[in-house]
Structure 1
Amino acid sequence: MAAYVSQAEKELMWKLYQKYGTYKAVADKLNRNPGTVSRHVREYEAAVSAAGYILNQKDR
């Protein structure tokens, strides 16, 4: 069974990824699997990107 990853932890994973640059470094810091970190960092980036796209469209 997969462990639950909260929204706050996803954001933390993303911030740490911005700082350290590798999924493995983040996984080591949070005691998580690098695959789990990778999946959630990419998911968070997609959500941020989509939100930015929508906000930029409203300005036009």
Structure 2
Amino acid sequence: MAKGTKVTEKEREKMWQLYQQGGSFKAIAKKLRRSPDTVSRHVHEYEAAVRATGYVLNQGNIK
């Protein structure tokens, strides 16, 4: 990918899925043709969003 291109939601999800399967940032970056820094940033952002969503959904179960 050219420098400065935006990462799509599908790409972010794919990065996260590959990371969950035990991939390294460097290997994922090579596969998706992105920089390891970009992959790292988006994996961490996606992970934070998943955690926040789980937290909000679990609040309804607490009495």
- Partner SS, residue 13 of structure 2: helix
CA distance in structure 1 between the partners assigned to 2:6 and 2:36 by the alignment = 15
Report the aligned-residue RMSD.
1.1
| Identical pairs, percent | 57
Which letter maps to 2:23? Answer: G
Q: TM-score, normalised by structure 1?
A: 0.91
**Runs of at least 5 residues in structure 2 that lack an aligned partner in the other structure:** none
Which letter maps to 1:51? Answer: T
For this pair of structures, how many residues does the alignment match?
60
Which letter maps to 1:59? Answer: N
Higher-Rg structure is 2
Runs of 4 or more, structure 1, over 6 Å off, are none
More helix by share: 1
**Runs of at least 5 residues in structure 1 that lack an aligned partner in the other structure:** none
Which letter maps to 2:19? Answer: Y
CA distance in structure 2 between the partners assigned to 1:49 and 1:2 by the alignment = 28
Q: Which deviates more from structure 2 when the two are superposed, residues 2-11 or residues 46-55?
A: 2-11
CA distance in structure 2 between the partners assigned to 1:6 and 1:20 by the alignment = 22
Q: TM-score, normalised by structure 2?
A: 0.87
Aligned to 1:22: 24
